[in-house]
């Protein structure tokens, strides 16, 4: 199969779909890989690195799309990229379609087959292609929040770890999954006062055992969330319903009663955000203020640590890339129900139930598209 790796064009997105090492593996399986010139510069990989791995270097994104069948990316295709997609293309990337009907409509119209990293499932449950970026984003959320809390950045002027004689900052994490767990890991390491809120008692028990009492856990109710948010210096939004729009857990009314200069970091922004006042921001302009509360809502947080994030992502995606290329996408999806769950768009149809529900579209099961 001919596989294309275009350069990412989203604001301050430095990750790349395949590393040179991943390309070498794909080529060893007998496939042809075209990499757009400069695609790997953000992770320190030159065109010559890719050539040594067996890739062909394309001089433009147009050439990548024209020469290949499977397009492997990191972020959702932007408008100019969507215009290059044809019915014969297989797109494998993060899509996050639920809060983005414009992208969904254009992908449907293009006739492309689109598999979303974020809805691929593992045999024992979980989201194996979302997990590595959730780990990165969770840890970064505390780093970003700590910076935003500095007075010069509009925050309260609070040091999360405090110092002897001064209490530490209060961190509230909404959601105890991969993002929340990794956020807690970093916040605890910084010495913050950490509380995790979740609706799963098994998750809360696991977190309590894992941190040995260094974090507080609380079952998620509206009352508990409101009470904690009003006391917090930093709130991390880490909720996820696979494929669906994130629930709005913090309302505009709550913001008015929060501590002036408190910070909220919405890691769920790719799925629409879990704060009522959230809107996507970029690394170039990451924060804004509503009712005295600093909002950090960067939609591609891991792009700032592109090398770490790309290698973590490739370790998870490479087996799926090889399966799709070796078997062809239809056979690969027939053989792997978890990969089949990643199919979001096919033949102009929406093939994931939560995505279809969020977009108000008719749902057609993925299995019906496999012949």
CA angle, 305 then 310 then 312, to 5° = 100
CA–CA separation, 29 and 50 (whole Å)? 16
Alpha carbons 297 and 307: distance in angstroms, whole number = 21
Quote the crossing angle between the two packed helices 178-189 and 201-211, to the nearest 10°: 30
Alpha carbon distance 249, 238 (integer Å): 11
Q: Please, which residues bridge with residue 171 across strands?
A: 194, 234
Judge contact between 62 and 42, C-beta under 8 A. no
Q: Does residue 270 have an active-site annotation?
A: yes
Under 8 Å between Cβ of 248 and 275:
yes
Determine whether 185 is an active site residue: no
Among 31, 96, 295, 352, the active-site one is 96
Residues in the chain: 371
Q: Are the CB atoms for 23 and 35 separated by under 8 Å?
A: yes
Instruction: Check 89, 270, 295, 336 and give the catalytic one.
Output: 270
With contact defined as beta carbons under 8 Å apart, do 82 and 107 qualify?
A: yes
Q: Is 171 in contact with 160 (CB distance < 8 Å)? A: yes
In contact, 35 and 18? CB cutoff 8 Å: yes
Structure tokens at 15: 């990750």
Q: What is the DSSP string of 262-287?
A: -EEEEGGGGGT-SBTT---BBTTB-E
Other residues' Cβ atoms within 10 Å of the Cβ of residue 95: 28
Measured from the Cβ of residue 186, the count of other Cβ atoms closer than 10 Å reads 20
Q: Which DSSP string do the residues of 99-127 spell out, in sequence order?
A: T-HHHHHHHHHHT-EEEEGGG---TTSS-
Which residue is associated with the tokens 């297989």? 90
Planar angle of CA 68, 70, 75, nearest 5 degrees: 115
Q: Is 233 exposed, middle or buried (0-12, 13-18, 19+ CB in 10 A)?
A: buried
- The catalytic residue positions are 96, 270
């Amino acid at each position: 199969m001919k596989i294309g790796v275009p350069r990412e064009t989203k604001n301050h997105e430095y990750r790349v779909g395949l590393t040179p090492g991943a390309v070498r593996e794909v080529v060893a399986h007998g496939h042809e890989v075209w990499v757009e010139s400069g695609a790997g510069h953000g992770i320190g990989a030159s065109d010559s690195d890719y050539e040594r791995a067996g890739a062909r270097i394309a001089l433009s994104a147009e050439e990548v799309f024209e020469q290949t069948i499977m397009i492997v990316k990191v972020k959702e295709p932007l408008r100019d990229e969507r215009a290059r997609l044809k019915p014969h293309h297989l797109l494998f990337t993060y899509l996050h379609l639920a809060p983005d009907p414009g992208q969904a409509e254009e992908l449907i119209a293009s006739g492309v087959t689109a598999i979303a990293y974020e809805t691929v499932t593992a045999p024992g449950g979980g989201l194996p292609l979302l997990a590595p970026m959730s780990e990165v984003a969770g840890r970064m959320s505390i780093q970003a929040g700590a910076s935003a809390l500095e007075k010069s950045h509009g925050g309260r002027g609070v040091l999360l770890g405090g110092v002897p004689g001064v209490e530490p900052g209060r961190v509230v994490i909404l959601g105890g999954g991969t993002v929340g767990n990794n956020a807690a890991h970093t916040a605890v390491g910084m010495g913050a006062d950490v509380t995790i809120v979740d609706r799963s008692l098994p998750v809360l028990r696991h977190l309590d055992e894992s941190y040995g009492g260094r974090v507080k856990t609380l079952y998620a109710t509206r009352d508990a969330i409101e009470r904690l948010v009003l006391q917090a210096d930093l709130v991390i939004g880490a909720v996820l319903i696979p494929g669906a729009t994130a629930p709005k857990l913090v309302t505009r009314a709550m913001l008015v009663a929060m501590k002036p200069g408190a910070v909220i970091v919405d890691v769920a922004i790719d799925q629409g955000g879990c704060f009522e006042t959230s809107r996507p921001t970029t690394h170039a302009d990451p924060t804004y203020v509503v009712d005295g509360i600093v909002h950090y809502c960067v939609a591609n947080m891991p792009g700032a640590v592109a090398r770490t994030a790309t290698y973590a992502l490739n370790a998870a995606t490479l087996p799926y890339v090889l399966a799709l290329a070796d078997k062809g996408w239809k056979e690969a999806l027939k053989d792997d129900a978890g990969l089949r769950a990643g199919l979001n768009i096919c033949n102009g149809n929406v093939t994931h139930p939560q995505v279809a529900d969020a977009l108000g579209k008719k749902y057609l099961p993925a299995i019906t598209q496999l012949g």
